[in-house]
């Protein structure tokens, strides 16, 4: 049985193989590098020469001014300057503040503003009574003059073309939701309207309305508003405003303005005047 080679012998053999292989591969590498030749590429194109270019032709185009929408002349929408839109919580309407571009002419003030539109109360109102049962008289208000007077059945109000046909005071049950009901004396009056040739009943508990509406308008330079009906005219110096129509939804009035310095009458639909306490801009 032969003996195994010693570790020293194996190490010598491995070292010898490493030296021989390194010498062989090193020689082959040097031979390959010495015999290789690099070829120079041929340049066929002409050398680069920078060349100037002509400036581009710039065409100036003027955009047309934005046109008004159907909702009104103030509803102008431009690309970069959109209007600021507000919402009136009382009238539940939108209002718009058109952007100023600097090109539009400043419009002369109209001189009249709409403060509110309200239902028209009947020309006489029953607001209370005095005296006991059987001897009571009603407390009436003349809506045209503001006069308050006492009257009972048979009284005639000539300037209003009205006649009080009956007046009485009786106990009525007052029902309050989710509370205790109670009895209260309430005055009522039967009025004959000589103009309309009909009877109607007035009560002190609620106001009587005609079914029409009236407007409160403010004239420039006046502190107190005026009540107007459709067909009324309002004068301010040499200027005359005729109320053509009053609407409630939305609250607007149509007014025709005439004046010596106007070439032709100006007709305009006026919304409620802007009140900053009741409007707020919409969040973007």
Inform me whether the pLDDT recorded for 100 exceeds 60: no
Does residue 127 sit in the same domain as residue 186? Answer: yes
Q: Which of the two residues, 85 and 280, has the higher pLDDT score? A: 85
For the whole model, what pTM was predicted? Answer: 0.49
In this prediction, residue 134 carries a pLDDT of 76
Q: Which domain holds residue 87?
A: 65-107
pLDDT category at 284 given cuts 50, 70, 90 is very low
Q: How many domains does the chain have?
A: 3
Q: Which of 1-5, 22-26, 107-111 has the highest mean pLDDT?
A: 107-111
> Is 96:86 a contact under the CB 8 Å cutoff?
yes
Tens-place pLDDT, residues 200-246: 999 998 889 888 889 999 998 888 899 898 999 999 989 999 999 99
**Residue 41, domain member (yes or no):** no
Does residue 129 sit in the same domain as residue 174? Answer: yes
Sheet holding 137-142, edge to edge: 124-130, 137-142, 148-151
Q: Is 247 exposed, middle or buried (0-12, 13-18, 19+ CB in 10 A)?
A: middle
Inform me whether the pLDDT recorded for 110 exceeds 50: yes
Q: What's the 3-state SS for the chain? A: CCCCCCHHHHHHHHHHHHHHHHHHHHHHHHHHHHHCCCCCCCCCCCCCCCCCCCCCCCCCCCCCCCCCECCECCCCCCCCCCCEEEEECCCCEEEEECCCCCCCCCCCCCCEEEEEEEEEECCEEEEEEECCCCCCEEEEEECCCCCEEEECCCCEEHHHCEEEEEEEEEEEEECCCCCCCEEEEEEEEEEEECCCCEEEEEECCECCEEEEEEEEEEECCCCCCEEECCCCEEEECCEEEEEEEEEECCEEEEEEEECCCCCCCEEEEEEECCCCCCEEECCC
**Residue 59, domain member (yes or no):** no
**Residue 81, domain member (yes or no):** yes
Please give the average per-residue pLDDT across 244-252, as a whole number.
89
In whole angstroms, what is the distance from residue 227 CA to residue 29 CA?
Answer: 114
How much of the chain exceeds pLDDT 90, in percent? Answer: 31
In this prediction, residue 4 carries a pLDDT of 64
Tens-place pLDDT, residues 144-200: 888 999 999 999 998 999 999 999 998 888 777 777 778 888 999 999 999 989 999
**Residue 50, domain member (yes or no):** no
In this prediction, residue 182 carries a pLDDT of 80
Inform me whether the pLDDT recorded for 143 exceeds 80: yes
pLDDT category at 141 given cuts 50, 70, 90 is very high
Inform me whether the pLDDT recorded for 15 exceeds 80: no
Does residue 221 sit in the same domain as residue 270? Answer: yes
In this prediction, residue 58 carries a pLDDT of 84
**Residue 203, domain member (yes or no):** yes
pLDDT category at 20 given cuts 50, 70, 90 is confident
Q: Which of the two residues, 226 and 43, has the higher pLDDT score? A: 226
Does residue 215 sit in the same domain as residue 244? Answer: yes
Does residue 217 sit in the same domain as residue 202? Answer: no
Q: Which of the two residues, 21 and 130, has the higher pLDDT score? A: 130
Please give the average per-residue pLDDT across 257-276, as a whole number.
85
Does residue 127 sit in the same domain as residue 197? Answer: yes
Does residue 227 sit in the same domain as residue 266? Answer: yes
> Is 87:279 a contact under the CB 8 Å cutoff?
yes
Q: Which of 83-87, 243-247, 277-281 has the lowest mean pLDDT?
A: 277-281
Domain-terminating residue out of 188, 207, 226: 207
Q: Which of the two residues, 91 and 19, has the higher pLDDT score? A: 19
């Amino acid at each position: 049985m032969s003996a195994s080679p010693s570790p020293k012998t194996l190490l010598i053999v491995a070292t010898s193989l490493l030296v021989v292989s390194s010498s062989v591969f090193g020689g082959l590498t040097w031979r390959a590098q010495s015999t290789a030749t690099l070829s120079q590429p041929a340049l066929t194109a002409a050398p680069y020469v920078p060349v100037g270019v002509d400036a581009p032709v710039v065409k100036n185009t003027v955009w047309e001014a934005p046109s008004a929408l159907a909702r009104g002349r103030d509803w102008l929408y431009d690309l970069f300057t959109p209007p600021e839109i507000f919402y009136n919580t009382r009238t539940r309407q939108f209002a718009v503040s058109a952007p100023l571009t600097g090109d539009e002419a400043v419009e002369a003030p109209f001189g009249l503003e709409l403060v509110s539109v309200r239902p028209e109360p009947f020309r006489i109102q029953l607001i209370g009574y005095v005296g006991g049962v059987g001897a009571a008289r009603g407390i009436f208000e003349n809506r045209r003059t503001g006069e308050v007077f006492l009257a009972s059945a048979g009284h005639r109000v000539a300037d209003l073309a009205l006649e009080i046909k009956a007046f009485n005071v009786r106990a009525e049950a007052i029902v309050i939701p989710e509370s205790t009901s109670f009895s209260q004396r309430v005055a009522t009056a039967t009025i004959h309207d000589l103009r309309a040739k009909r009877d109607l009943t007035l009560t002190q508990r609620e106001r009587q309305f005609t079914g029409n509406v009236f407007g409160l308008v403010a004239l420039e330079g006046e502190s107190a508003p005026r009540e107007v009906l459709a067909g009324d005219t309002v004068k301010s110096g040499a200027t005359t405003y005729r109320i053509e129509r009053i609407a409630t939804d939305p609250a607007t009035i149509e007014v025709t303005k005439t004046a010596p310095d106007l070439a032709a009458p100006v007709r305009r639909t006026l919304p409620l005047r802007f009140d900053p306490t009741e409007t707020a801009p919409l969040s973007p």
